[in-house]
Structure 1
Amino acid sequence: MKLIQLLWFLILCSIISSNLVAAPTGIKADSLSYEQKLENGIDAFYRTDWIEASSVFRELQQKKPGDSRAYFFEAMIPFWEYYFGNNSSQAADQFLKRSQQAIEISKNQLNKNSSDTTMVLMLSGLYGYRSLVAAAEQNYKEALESGMTGFKYTRQLLELNADDPKALIGKGMFYYMAGSVPNGLKWAANMIGMSADMQEGFDALEKAAKSDSYVRNDAQMILAYLYEREGQDKKALKHLEALSARYPENIIFQYNRARLLEKTDQLTLAREKYEMITKMNTNTLGVLKQKSRNRLQKL
């Protein structure tokens, strides 16, 4: 179970942004306004202005009910609320409901074209997120089933063009996970084709992080988590600083930047960032403001 959860934690945000901005195969991008509104909705999502983002995504669902991208992004709102907020059962239920709808539409699109990589990426993420939430809610049967189903789609990422930043992200996460399997379990990982070197994963993700597209956001978010997990806090902080500069209104990026500044003994800067967070004008994740106040008191 821990191995499956690790895989999907690594995929946390890897499908957001430009991975899914391009119209899926079979969906005509016949309306510039639709594509522009989708990008605007994604931008609002990254700014954690989820009221605006949800409004945009619902409008797009009415306009093109067969395009699963808007359903995917709307499902991600309660997922982030759950994961970065207070783990409320209401957010979990809302996510599971919305993600199931997104899965059904995505599968319909993939059935029409089995080589539609956008749908493979989307389904990989949706099942992964469902596995994380179900495990946190102690629904281990659903967590296991969703995890294994999502893993099937993740394996398909290994067949993508190696020069495509989207493929680099998928491969990077897969290689890291395979490389981080404890020695006592490597035999089991090898049996299902999970043999790779951890550094290969970092190299692939760093290459994606240097790309010119928004894919770099996804790669940097993952790298920040992985580097911290491996005790390389300064490398993690470098990526969080880039994300915070790019999206100054994103309270999640700002809070984790402050936390890593504190962790790397840059206490004056950490206090400044925590103070800034307490004054941010945001309608989401107030719990991070409270956490910042708590850290200020301890500092």
Structure 2
Amino acid sequence: MKYTQIVLPLLLLINSIVPAVVQAQEDVITDVNKQENGYLLLDKGLQFRITDAINSMYNFDFEKAERGFLVMRYTYPEHPLPYFLMGLSQWWKIVVAVDNKSHDALMLKYMDLTIEKAEKMLGDNPENKEAAFFLAGAYGFQGRLHSERKNWTSSTFASRNALKYLELSRGEEELNPELLLGDALFNYFSVWIPENYPLLKPLMLLFPKGDQQLGLKQLEEVAKSSFYARVEAQYFLFRLYATEEKKPFKALEITSYLHSKYPNNPYFHRHFARQLYAVGRGREAKDVSLEILKRIDEK
């Protein structure tokens, strides 16, 4: 796995979002009251309404997804969640063509806005695990992009902040399994990074030592039980099973599911073909690869 894929980007993933219709004022007031009484991430009503937009994002219908995110921004203008989702949408545009830098500025802008809103929340309540979670996620994505662009100073700064807020966001029982993704990534990569990149050992000494096998188990739990972080956990699992853990059949199981659920996501499509080939299912790999080439020809 490349360094650019492991700069501990604590990923906060939301599994879907509102259709682009402004909710009735009565519903908005109800949601605001829920937010005041607890974390927005625990709002079941919001979870129900946001399904469509995030699924659209993963299926690369960005126009539909971002309409939903803008509605959420209208409803929760001071919460980091809608800004994070807009930044995440830009990130998925980058993932499939990393040499294309046209989405970089907007992605970084939305993550900056996420940080601004989350810092205010944390300033109002230093024990707010949700705010720390968003800060870890936003800094993590910034660090990941900067590392892709070989902006090593910016990447190091962002990644250190991500680690700091990741530590602050851990251990909130009420938000599990959403926050468990952070624990899982920390457990796995806090061991993996110093073993594979000795120059980063001094940085990792500032944090507790992790447990790789526990990290994998936690990723599996998030992939099964989380509402917000499920797809991101699956993303990390199939990459780890395909490379570090040498379990290609497990990687195939996940990529097969992701491709069937999000058939227009070219990243999942490519990895599904790759895993078919890795387990010796050459004829199927050929058919899937020809479909990929057909879609490229059709632009």
Q: Distance in 2 between matches of 1:143 and 1:159?
A: 26
> Is 1:241 paired with 2:253?
no
Cα deviation 1:188-237 (Å, max 9, x = unaligned): 46631331221111122122223264543232211111112213222211
Cα deviation 1:93-144 (Å, max 9, x = unaligned): 2211221122111222222233333322221111011111112223222111
Alignment of 1:110-149 (within 5 A): 110-149=122-161
The normalised TM-score by structure 1 is 0.79
| 2:53 corresponding residue in structure 1 | 41
1:224 partner SS: helix
Q: Distance in 2 between matches of 1:174 and 1:127?
A: 15
The normalised TM-score by structure 2 is 0.79
Alignment of 1:57-136 (within 5 A): 57-136=69-148
Q: After the TM superposition, which of the residue ranges 121-130 and 194-203 deviates more from structure 2? A: 194-203
Instruction: Structure 2: give runs of 5+ residues left out of the alignment.
Output: 19-30
Q: Distance in 2 between matches of 1:183 and 1:246?
A: 34
**Correspondence for 1:17 among 14, 31, 34:** 14
| 1:6 corresponding residue in structure 2 | 6
Following TM superposition, the consecutive aligned residue runs of length 4 or more in structure 1 with deviations greater than 4 angstroms are 2-5, 18-25, 31-37, 183-187
> Is 1:268 paired with 2:278?
no
Give the counterpart letter for 2:68 in structure 1.
V
**Shift in Å, 1:261:** 1.1
2:268 partner SS: helix
Distance 1:183 1:275, change over 3 A: closer
| 1:224 corresponding residue in structure 2 | 238
Distance 1:35 1:240, change over 3 A: closer
> Is 1:26 paired with 2:36?
yes
User: Number of residues paired by the alignment?
Assistant: 279
* Contact 1:71-1:98 within 8 A present in 2 as well: yes
Alignment of 1:156-235 (within 5 A): 156-161=168-173, 164-180=176-192, 181-182=194-195, 185=198, 188=202, 191-211=205-225, 213=227, 215-230=229-244, 231-235=246-250
| 1:297 corresponding residue in structure 2 | none
Q: Distance in 1 between matches of 2:248 and 2:141?
A: 25
| 1:285 corresponding residue in structure 2 | none
